[in-house]
């Protein structure tokens, strides 16, 4: 399985990229929650146990689980000259601009985290001022700063591996993310898809240095011909235009249609996959709150290297039926009960990870939605989620499929 191959949301899942939550969660404080896009502080030990249960469920279904931190470690171990380059880039993207601090931080990491994986994990965890050697820098900022101040912010959202990059067929989008604090997460994908022997060299349909925001939670592979992308709080339409141009002009791509879903712009519906995921050949979970305000645009090649766009006036069920190739069933989160739907949507009741047609990983806490799925013939693999759910993302958010078998 060299390279990537994801041409659906439901084909048998063979390989997936995860990130086990680490010490980055220990650098969350009440004062930094908003900046770091969290609503609460997860209990790390329990979050790790829940994540391990998630990985075990996937392995039990025959999925190869690889970890982002291990892939990055393998890249640098295989190319030792990249260590300095990576550290310099990471320090710069952490906002460090003074030479004295660049040197202090780099020397500190190389001295205290000489092992490659230790170094990678530390770049994810972040650094606060009190960790650094206590030598007098003679800088005013150090004299007035709290010793607990974050010098290099952590990346607590990194266990949501869906967002920094996304597989599109046999290619990849390395995303420019909505929030500055998350945009640094894409540095790992950039190295992995350039240098890792198992992943290097796929067509790149979007680059982390491109202008407009897009995140992987808004990108869904419907089939080998159709890609769905959400216009959302975190994905701009300009980025979709760019991906459409690149995908349609790549002779190796079989995608000939992109459906752009304009969803409400709010925290509960931050990505398309928080309101809409495919769970079987003919079944989708949806949040009923998107049905009224949803607008769908169809983007196709115009035959001259550009695109043609038209707004679709039909209901969502009719549009999906056309592109899936058979009548579809939309299963509402919470079973259509408004209170249950809003409560369970907050805990990602519609954010499922399909491991094969009709079998999905779900949060056990969303019992109303899960019961509805069971009654509609879906096999739900329930995972614990008391702490992981505090990050506002479900099983799909926490996974980046790298290889699915053809349908």
Enumerate the active-site residues.
397
Adjacent-strand bridge partners of 100: none
Q: What are phi and psi of 244, to 5 degrees?
A: -60, -45
Residue 345, phi-psi category: left (phi > 0), alpha (psi -120 to 50), beta (remainder): alpha
Place of tokens 């599109």: 168
Nearest to 369 by CA among 359, 380, 384: 380
400 token code pair: 């980046």
In this structure, the dihedral spanned by the alpha carbons of residues 129, 135, 137 and 138, taken in order and rounded to 10 degrees, is 120
Instruction: Determine the 3-state secondary structure of 201 from DSSP.
Output: coil
Q: How many CB atoms neighbour CB 52 within 10 A?
A: 12
**In contact, 306 and 353? CB cutoff 8 Å:** no
Instruction: Determine the 3-state secondary structure of 383 from DSSP.
Output: strand
290 CB burial (10 A radius; 0-12, 13-18, 19+) = buried
User: Could you tell me how many residues make up the chain?
Assistant: 407
Q: What are phi and psi of 79, to 5 degrees?
A: -140, 75
**In contact, 165 and 402? CB cutoff 8 Å:** no
Q: Return d(Cα 355, Cα 64) in angstroms, integer.
A: 12
Instruction: Determine the 3-state secondary structure of 326 from DSSP.
Output: coil
Q: Return d(Cα 369, Cα 391) in angstroms, integer.
A: 20
Q: Return d(Cα 81, Cα 384) in angstroms, integer.
A: 41
Q: How many CB atoms neighbour CB 70 within 10 A?
A: 16
**In contact, 397 and 160? CB cutoff 8 Å:** yes
Adjacent-strand bridge partners of 404: 13
Nearest to 195 by CA among 82, 55, 273: 82
């Amino acid at each position: 399985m060299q390279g990537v191959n994801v041409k659906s949301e439901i084909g048998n899942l063979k390989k997936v990229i995860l990130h086990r939550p680490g010490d980055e969660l220990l650098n969350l404080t009440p004062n930094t929650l908003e900046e770091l896009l969290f609503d609460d502080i997860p209990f790390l030990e329990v979050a790790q146990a829940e994540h391990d249960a998630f990985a075990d469920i996937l392995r039990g279904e025959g999925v190869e689980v690889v970890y982002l931190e291990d892939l990055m470690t393998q890249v640098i171990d295989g190319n030792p000259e990249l260590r300095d380059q990576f550290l310099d880039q990471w320090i710069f993207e952490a906002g460090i601009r003074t030479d004295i601090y660049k040197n202090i931080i780099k020397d500190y990491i190389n001295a205290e985290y000489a092992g490659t994986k230790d170094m990678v994990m530390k770049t994810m965890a972040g650094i606060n001022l009190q960790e650094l050697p206590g030598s007098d820098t003679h800088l005013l900022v150090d004299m007035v700063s709290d010793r607990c101040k974050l010098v290099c912010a952590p990346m607590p959202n990194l266990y949501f591996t869906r967002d920094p990059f996304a597989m599109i067929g046999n290619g990849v989008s390395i995303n420019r993310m909505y929030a500055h604090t998350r945009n640094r997460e894409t540095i790992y994908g950039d190295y992995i898809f350039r240098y890792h022997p198992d992943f290097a060299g796929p067509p790149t349909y979007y680059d982390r240095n491109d202008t407009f925001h897009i995140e992987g939670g808004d990108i869904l592979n419907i089939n080998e011909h159709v890609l769905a992308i959400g216009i959302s709080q975190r994905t701009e339409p300009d980025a979709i235009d760019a991906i459409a141009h690149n995908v349609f002009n790549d002779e190796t791509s079989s995608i000939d249609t992109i459906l752009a879903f304009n969803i409400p712009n709010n925290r509960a519906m931050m990505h398309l996959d928080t309101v809409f995921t495919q769970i079987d050949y003919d079944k989708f979970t949806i949040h009923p709150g998107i049905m009224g305000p949803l607008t769908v645009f169809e983007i196709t090649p115009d035959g001259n290297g550009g695109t043609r766009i038209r707004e679709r006036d039909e209901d969502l069920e009719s549009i999906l039926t056309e592109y899936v190739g058979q009548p579809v069933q939309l299963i509402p989160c919470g079973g259509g009960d408004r209170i249950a739907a809003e409560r369970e949507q907050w805990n990602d009741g519609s954010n499922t990870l399909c491991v094969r047609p009709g079998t999905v990983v779900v949060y056990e806490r969303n019992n109303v939605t899960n019961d509805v799925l069971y009654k509609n013939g879906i096999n739900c693999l329930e995972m614990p989620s008391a702490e992981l759910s505090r990050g506002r993302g479900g099983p799909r958010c926490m996974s980046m499929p790298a290889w699915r078998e053809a349908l």
